[in-house]
């Protein structure tokens, strides 16, 4: 497998592009090469130094490319990868800041690690510092740079609980599409990916996005607790049934007749 390639048409400053996508690239070293790109013109090819970098050149017959349309604040650009070596979690993993979390299988059939931002008890799992909470009291709060993810996690927790109530009341839950970007931001904590990378790879579907979001609020831990509790209860019930069966058996087993102390052949 290999990482992504990026192509900027001529005239686009690479530094501006990298700064705009700083959340994706982080502290990655990015090589730059002038070349003819997928638009048939000359531009700049960017090759991030991920664990398994792709071949540092444009190969039309061996690569898959997608143009990202221009936006009001950004010109168009291209993203590509080697067709036979689609980028995966092992290629895109961040080396220095891997957040603990839960494994989630995405639509590519591979296991990605979705981070936990909110523990079941409501505490944050993100790096913290001492600050003032809403009540003006000194308390641990997420470090700057993690506030956005924390707010997204809390927001999803609230929507998740509201969806449970709506489902119980026979109403339709909130559409998952509203939280897809949150799922991308969550995965971005552990991998060099953004909306465009996820969209090109098509690794997030309705169900897999939900699993990433559930990991974000630590629901897999709750499922583990429930499963362990069920095993304990089932084991206790099985043990109780075994003990009860043995007592009933004892009551219905014929007792042996008393043995005479006289030896054979003796008589009155």
Q: What is the pLDDT of residue 170?
A: 64
pLDDT for residue 85 = 93
Predicted pLDDT of residue 176: 63
Reported as a single tens digit per residue, the pLDDT across 113-156 is 999 999 988 888 888 888 887 888 887 777 777 888 898 999 88
Residue with tokens 């221009």: 70
Identify the DSSP state of 63. Answer: E
pLDDT at 132: 82
Radius of gyration of the chain (CA): 30
SS (H, E, C) 146-184: CHHHHHHHHHHHHHHHHHHHHHHCCCCCCCHHHHHHHHH
What dihedral angle (degrees, nearest 10) is formed by the CA atoms of 91, 94, 100, 102? -30
Residues of the chain with pLDDT under 50: 248-249, 251-254, 257-268
* pLDDT at residue 217, rounded to an integer: 94
pLDDT per residue as tens digits for the range 66-84: 999 999 989 999 999 999 9
Tokens 């590519």 sit at which residue?
108
pLDDT at site 53: 85
Percent of the chain with pLDDT over 90: 51
Q: What is the DSSP string of 108-139?
A: TS-EEEEEP-B-TTS-B-S-EEEEE-TTS-EE
């Amino acid at each position: 497998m290999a990482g992504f390639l990026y192509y900027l048409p001529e005239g686009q400053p690479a530094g501006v592009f990298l700064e705009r996508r700083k959340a994706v690239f982080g502290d990655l070293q990015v090589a730059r090469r002038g070349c003819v790109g997928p638009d048939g013109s000359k531009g700049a090819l960017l090759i991030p130094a991920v664990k398994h970098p792709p071949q540092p050149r444009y190969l039309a017959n061996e690569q898959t490319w997608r143009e990202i349309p221009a936006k009001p604040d950004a010109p168009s650009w291209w993203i590509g990868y080697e067709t036979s070596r689609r980028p995966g979690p092992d290629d895109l993993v961040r080396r220095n800041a891997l957040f603990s979390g839960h494994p989630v299988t995405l639509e590519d059939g591979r296991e990605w690690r979705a981070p936990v931002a909110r523990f079941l008890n409501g505490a944050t799992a993100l790096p913290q510092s001492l600050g003032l909470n809403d009540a003006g009291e000194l308390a641990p709060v997420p470090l700057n740079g993690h506030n956005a993810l924390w707010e997204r996690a809390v927001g999803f927790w609230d929507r998740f609980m509201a969806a449970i109530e709506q489902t119980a009341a026979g109403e339709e839950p909130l559409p998952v599409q509203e939280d897809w970007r949150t799922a991308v931001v969550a995965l971005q904590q552990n991998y060099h990916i953004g909306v465009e990378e996820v969209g090109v790879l098509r690794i997030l579907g309705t169900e897999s996005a939900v699993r990433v979001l559930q990991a974000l609020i630590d629901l897999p831990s709750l499922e583990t607790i429930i499963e362990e509790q069920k095993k304990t209860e089932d084991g206790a019930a099985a043990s109780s049934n075994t003990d009860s069966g043995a007592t009933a058996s004892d009551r219905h087993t014929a007792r042996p007749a008393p043995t005479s102390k006289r030896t054979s052949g003796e008589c009155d």
